[in-house]
Amino acid sequence: MCGRYTLYTKKEALEARFDAVFEATFDAQYNAAPSLTLPVIRNDNTAAFALTTWGFLPGWVRDFNKMKPQINARAESVKEKPYWRGALSKHRCLIPANGYYEWKKAGDRKQPYFIRLASDEPFAMAGLFDTYTNEAGQPVSGFAIITTQAPAPLANIHHRMPVILQPDDEARWLSPDLTSAEALSLLDVRTDVTAFPVSTRVNAPQNNSPELITPIELTG
């Protein structure tokens, strides 16, 4: 599962890294949480970052009592489940990030960890998006992060992790000619990551500051 992530690289550097422009202002996020509106690069306009809500519903949904927005999609079943199948085929996106948080059980509490590439470079998580019409008749665009099994030693923290695309695969992920089977072939597990414990202040979504990604020493 991936329920929090960060994006704090400066706008100009992100535009250069992903060859896309910001059409609206965006503040650094050290604690991006579900339901926030965040920048993604969608395959319906690869030249711009689109501010999109973290929380996916398929465009055909009508009964909002039975279906709630999902923040993650499992790579192992995304092709088979009707909930995700159309988006895998037609509506893929890149979700830029600097890292993400995961929580490890430690006795009767959970210790948060910050996980990033060993190179400390920004990366793109594989995502799906769609636009549905809410109960007020308004269009809402939402996205979900595709997750996969975490490798050792990350699995000691949590058994799932987001799919971090290889930079050479990012353009392919957005290609309109990519089949669902070809898309699945890009969902590899990255092992060039590092993790370290951070303050439990990250537990509160309203906290959003660089101190959240400062390593701490565990005691006891």
Indicate which residues carry an active-site annotation: 2, 102
Cα torsion angle, 52, 194, 162, 93, sign: positive
Whole-number Å distance between alpha carbons of 173 and 132: 22
Cα torsion angle, 106, 76, 81, 170, sign: positive
Residue 153: asked if its preceding bond is cis (omega within 30°), the reply is yes
Pick from 21, 15, 14, 9: which is nearest to 45 by CA?
21
Whole-number Å distance between alpha carbons of 83 and 68: 11
